[in-house]
Amino acid sequence: IETAILSSGDELQIGKFKLVFLLGGDGA
């Protein structure tokens, strides 16, 4: 169960990074 939570958390972080790159974010 813990691993599932960790994996889901990683997916959320990856999603945020993708949004930043799509927006052409400056790393902010």
Predicted confidence (pLDDT) per residue in 1-28, tens digit: 566 666 677 888 888 888 888 887 665 4
Q: What is the pLDDT of residue 1?
A: 56
Phi/psi at 27 (5° precision): 95, 5
| DSSP H/E element including 17 | helix 2-22
CA distance linking residue 14 with residue 22, whole number of Å: 12
Structure tokens at 24: 């052409």
Q: What is the pLDDT of residue 4?
A: 62
Q: What is the pLDDT of residue 21?
A: 83
